[in-house]
Amino acid sequence: MDVREVLKHLDHTELLQTATHDDIVKLCDDALHYGTASVCVPPSYVKLASARLAGRLPVCTVIGFPHGYNTTGCKIFEAKEALENGADELDMVINIGWVKDGLYAQVEDEIRALKAVAGDHVLKVIIETGLLTDEEKIQMCEVITRAGADYIKTCTGYAAGKAEPHDIALFKQHIGPHVKIKASSGMTSIQQGADFVAMGCDRLGSRLFIRFARELGVE
């Protein structure tokens, strides 16, 4: 396992409610040092991360996070403001209640609306796999494909469930060719990340991987 190759797929993340200015500065500096794919920060810290990274790495932030039941209008406003503040990538949370009610057309319309705002910027769609049945996950693969989003993402880390090989395999069977996969939440080792990459995940979401890398002696 090449640890640095795994880290190239990492969205180095700090979304704790207690995240401070210094935490975000350290996150950015560590991401640059280890060559991660991006940093993922709370919306209120997008300007700081964008200034700190100065175009050297993409800045990702979250929309409708963590529960996803914000109105579509609220999510659109969040997305527009995030992009104006320097975000390069958006990770949005779907409305889980709509999925449970079978309102897939509404979910698709919302994702389309967010992708229209994102434009050429990357849009990842968090479906919260721990709360969905396999049939709902398959439906969401199809919805995300039709809506034109760039990624399907497993979890927020703020609800039941974590990244699971079963779900990644299910995604691969049902997403369109333009949709990539982000595994996020619950990974406890770099090796788990490597395994997900080997399964076909393009991105990994974690706040712990750089700590794991240091524990393995990678400086």
CA distances in angstroms from 6 to 120, 200, 207, listed in the order given: 25, 12, 14
Among 115, 124, 137, 153, the one annotated catalytic: 153
Question: Could you read off the pLDDT of 46-80 as tens digits, one per residue?
Answer: 999 999 999 999 999 999 999 999 999 999 999 99
In angstroms, the CA 50 to CA 87 distance is 7
Q: Look up 26 and say whether it is catalytic.
A: no
Q: Look up 153 and say whether it is catalytic.
A: yes
In angstroms, the CA 148 to CA 53 distance is 28
Entry pTM: 0.97
Question: Could you read off the pLDDT of 91-145 as tens digits, one per residue?
Answer: 999 999 999 999 999 999 999 999 999 999 999 999 999 999 999 999 999 999 9
Residue whose C-alpha is closest to residue 163's, from 188, 186, 139, 134: 186
Among 88, 91, 150, 167, the one annotated catalytic: 91
Please tell me the CATH code under which domain 3-215 is placed. Answer: 3.20.20.70
Q: What is the pLDDT of residue 1?
A: 75
Q: Look up 182 and say whether it is catalytic.
A: yes
DSSP E strand boundaries for the chain: 10-13, 38-41, 59-63, 89-93, 122-126, 151-153, 180-184, 203-206
The domains of the chain are located at 3-215
Among 115, 124, 180, 182, the one annotated catalytic: 182
